[in-house]
Amino acid sequence: MQTPLSPITNVVELLDTGNDDAVAAMFAEAHPADIADALERLTPEKRPAAWLHIPKDAKGEVLSELNEGVFRNLAEELDNRDLVNAIKVLDTDDIADLIPDLPESLLADVLFAVDTETRANLGEVLSYPEDSAGGLMDLDFITVRDNISLDVVLHYLRLKTELPEHTDTVYLVNRANQLTGILPLDRIITQRGGDQARGHMVESPVIFQILDDEEQVAKAFTDYDLISAPVVDENQKLVGRITIDDVVDVIREQAEHDIMAAAGLKEEEDIFAPVTKTTGDRTIWLAVNLLTALLGSWVIGQFEGSIQRLVALAVLMPIVASMGGNAGTQTLTVVIRGMSLGTISRGNMLNVLKKESMVGVLNGLIWAAAISIIAGLWYQDIILGLVIAAAMIANLVMGAIAGVCIPIFLERMNIDPALAGGVALTTVTDVVGYFSVLGLATLILL
């Protein structure tokens, strides 16, 4: 790849050896996104020093490219005036994105520093939920009246020295500023200039309402291969435009969220945040896990007598619990992904449950056979092998059922399945795994 600008390499070493000029020279040639990457790779104490070497006119864009956690940490360290100057020159939608992460003391300064028009626009954008089409849109787009010819449109565009970024279409509006159509740029170029603009509009345009959810927006952009799309209010008035670059960020953040949430982490985690902060952030997750682990231990505790008489149970019970957890997690992952991609819905949920239960039964039979042979040989006890085998079948079927039902239940309760699904599932499979091994053994063997 030939990058637009020189890559950034050894910032740490250059800063450590006091070679500040080299850092400044490198930053002067670099893309803001690459400078932001470099800052994220530094430990927090080194970031303010690196910040000083970023060219003035790149600082704002660097801030808007930073991971949220890193931005918050950095914003606390930097000089307020420096920050405000960097932020105030950004586009309205970029400023709006930074505002939720600004220290309170700075918010008023930023709003005071921007010009009147930007302040009014910010007020509008910030009034929409961050995760809606309204929160995602920018306000910079081109509209033309819908009763003119392509030549007039072209002439109008020629009067501008440049078009807003990612302009692939212009919007046709009527006198009331209501959106009446979308005109692709390439048709302005390729079609006969005398033609009416409205004769060359996109045939089935995708138009978003202000309150459309950003996940819905992302899916539409992906499915229909969009570069940009208009946003209208309830009166069909054109209020903004969503562009693919912001949608790509949404897609990446959603993916990061799903991956990080499964381990109880936030997607904007700063890898080099202070130890105490990181420990604090992770405490709740471990506390929840301790409670669920205690539940499993309580079940074991009910069978202390059985374990004392047949210590093999203590050796074998974690295998059953673990296999149930793993098989169940496979079902859970498939179901959560299916729900989030829309493949699984109310209409076919029963089919999923039926299928996954059958997989659970089949897996149960396979691994019951395996474990009964292993346990039977290990302890020279066929009945013990059969008891563990029965527990294995029970737990794998339970894992499959829980893997389907838990995300459905969590979604109904408005709890994020990506966050809580795994813990809930392994709690079920641990409890059922221990209980079935110890309970069956107590009934049959002791």
Calculate helix-pair angle for 417-444, 244-261, nearest 10 degrees: 20
The b-or-e profile of 351-389 (16+ CB within 10 A means b, else e) is ebbeebbebbeebbeebbeebbeebbeebebeebbbbbb
CA distance 361 to 396: 7
User: Which SS3 state, helix, strand or coil, does residue 183 take?
Assistant: strand
**Least distance (Å) from a copy of itself to the CB of residue 441?**
13
Closer of 106 and 188 to a copy of itself (Cβ)? 188
**Where would I find the H helices in 228-268?**
244-261
Closer of 5 and 408 to a copy of itself (Cβ)? 5
The b-or-e profile of 144-174 (16+ CB within 10 A means b, else e) is bebeebbebbeeeeeeeeeeeebbebbbbbe
Closer of 24 and 205 to a copy of itself (Cβ)? 205
User: Which SS3 state, helix, strand or coil, does residue 232 take?
Assistant: strand
Tell me which residue has tokens 């009910």: 302
- For residue 295, the one-letter residue type is L
**Least distance (Å) from a copy of itself to the CB of residue 235?**
14
CA distance 230 to 45: 43
**How many other CB atoms sit within 10 Å of the CB of residue 220?**
18
Q: With the CA atoms of 215, 218, 224 and 229 taken in that order, what torsion angle do they form, in degrees rounded to the nearest 10?
A: 110
Residue among 2, 54, 51 at smallest CA distance from 25: 54
Structure tokens at 83: 């920050």
Instruction: Give the H or E element holding residue 101.
Output: none
